Amino acid sequence: MDNKDKKHEHENTQAVINRLSRAIGHLQSVKKMVEDGRECSEVLIQIAAVKSAVNNIGKIILQDHIKHCVVDAALTGDEKVLEDLSYAIDKFMK
């Protein structure tokens, strides 16, 4: 089984799911604002809020990953997990 087939559940899985649901709802509200012709500045402020929420979700996932997967990989010598983490952080930070 490769890493993509593994189910990752951590202590914050439900919190991440809840935050994702809120971010999705918020983004749907922003879409409605655009459809309704709301002021661009209002829309941009709400987009900034959605971006911040998504970034915070990413931070939680990253912290969970480090606490669990990376610690386990360090103990077992699994360098692939560390390489994958480096790649993911590079993509997340762009």
The residue extents of the domains of the chain are: 12-93
Residues 49/94, Cβ–Cβ less than 8 Å: no
pLDDT tens readout for residues 6-43: 666 778 899 999 999 999 999 999 999 999 999 999 99
pTM comes to 0.79
Domain 12-93 has CATH 3.40.50.20: no
- Residue 48 tokens, joined: 């900034």
Give the Cα-Cα-Cα angle 51, 65, 19 (nearest 5 degrees): 35
Q: Are 82 and 70 in contact (CB under 8 A)?
A: yes
Question: Using an 8 Å Cβ cutoff, are 53 and 19 in contact?
Answer: yes
SS3 state of residue 3: helix
Check residue 70 and report its DSSP letter.
Answer: I
